[in-house]
Structure 1
Amino acid sequence: MDFHVWLTYLATTIVFSIYPGSGAVNTISNAIRYGVRGSVPAIAGLQLGLSIHLALVGVGLGTLLAQSATAFAVLKWLGVAYLVWLGWTKWREVPQLMKNGVGQEDGPRPALFWPAVFVNITNPKSIVFLVALFPQFLHADYPLWSQALILSVTCVLVDIIVMLGYASLAAPLTHLVQNEKGMRTQNRIFGSLFIAAGALLSGASR
């Protein structure tokens, strides 16, 4: 893969990752409550979901999904249902102060991993975007598998850096959730954002 082609792909991927979506909402919500370190499992979960999308695109299933109205609709409505359920659960969550009386809790939070995986994996727009993006940067003169690997690793690394950036920006807001009222407000704000993300996804088309 030519270096200038990779740079163009890198710039495109950065824009794709920075664009706020359900993954960013998930990361910011976790970072405010658990800090940057505590949100790492959720960021890792997002990357597993993204990696599954990349793998599907790599083996050609992504193209099938992008072209099949039925498959797209099924995955889309699963994503909508999951985001709305996540938002409703967050909205109704009972505030629980940490042992030290503040919003953050020391150490990682493995329980955040799988919900984050499903946040990303149930977003069909990601697959459609990747299906449209990948062919633009593949060259017939180079091995396709190595190019796909480079593009996939670049995409995941960029998204990790962007999500850590979101978490770092959100973590200083932890003081807003140091009491029960603040945590309830935070839960309802991000619950509403998850529901809004589901509403936006419901209007998505191929």
Structure 2
Amino acid sequence: MHWPVDPHLYFTFLGVMAVMAITPGPANLFAVATGVAKGRAAALAGMVGMNTATLVWFGAAALGLGALVKAFPEAFRLIAIGGALYVAWLGLKAWRGAFRTAQEPETPAIRRGRSAIVDGFMVQIANPKAILFFTAVLPPFLDVNRPVVAQLALFAVAVIALDALSMSAYGLAGAALSRRMARPGFRRVFGLIVGGLLITAAILIVARL
């Protein structure tokens, strides 16, 4: 059976996405803050809003990246190399943060008078992590010799599933997880593990080019 995505490449993508999904960022911090401020139902609603925004990003990627792959395959390879370097930079950044006393990451504000779905959508549609994912992280995993839209569909399934699990876990954990992330020792170990996984992922990306 011919799959639209190379299985080895897809499992590598799952590993990268799993690390990115669990890493604290605007989306996961928003989930925590929503869970603390509004409860479990609102945290899950915010997760729906954020993943709706992710689908919008995938729609844009299907239009723009598909044209880029067909018109400029060599330029696409350079983008892939840039994406691998970006993933490695994220790993080094995680290691650097693990060995210094970091301030509490800024948590997106929660507006009680608005729907958590709307707030979640707005957080993710403007999330720098999401923007960089679609411009730097995703391109290395697309095969120029396979249908781009079919590949993006499978990648979207993985991203939505992993993000939904991570965002829900952060939101439902709420205050308990927030207290753990406030502990320097916990953040240090977390940063070392995340950094190692991201740098390994960057090496795997380059090895596939």
TM-score (norm 1): 0.55
- CA deviation string 1:130-149 (max 9, x = no partner): 216x62xx5xxxxxxxxx54
Alignment partner, residue 135 of structure 2: 121
Aligned residue in 2 for 1:183: 181
- Give the Cα–Cα distance (whole angstroms) in 2 for the partners of residues 72 and 11 of structure 1: 16
Q: What letter matches 1:184 in structure 2?
A: A
CA distance in 1 between partners of 2:156 and 2:83 (Å): 22
Partners of 1:17 and 1:201 lie apart in 2 by: 7
Residue by residue over 1:166-185, the C-alpha shift from the partner in whole angstroms, topping out at 9 and shown as x without a partner, is 43345443353253xx1224
Root-mean-square deviation (CA), in Å? 4.7
Correspondence for 2:152: 152
**Selected match of 1:20 from 1, 4, 15:** 15
- CA distance in structure 1 between the partners assigned to 2:49 and 2:68 by the alignment: 27
Query: Which residue is 2:86 aligned to?
Result: 78
How many residue pairs get matched? 176
CA contact (8 A) 2:97 2:188 kept: no
User: Which residue of 2 is the match for residue 103 of structure 1?
Assistant: none
Q: 2:61 aligns with which of 52, 61, 64?
A: 52
Q: Is 2:40 aligned against 1:64? A: no
Q: Which residue of 2 aligns with 1:93?
A: 103
Tell me the residue number matched to 1:203.
203
Q: Distance in 2 between matches of 1:42 and 1:187?
A: 25
TM-score with structure 2 setting the length: 0.54
State, as a whole percentage, how many aligned pairs show the same letter: 12
CA contact (8 A) 1:57 1:63 kept: no
C-alpha distance 77-47 of structure 1, shift in aligned 2 (>3 A): farther
Contact 2:13-2:141 within 8 A present in 1 as well: no
Report the alpha carbon displacement of residue 200 of structure 1 after superposing the two structures with TM: 1.8
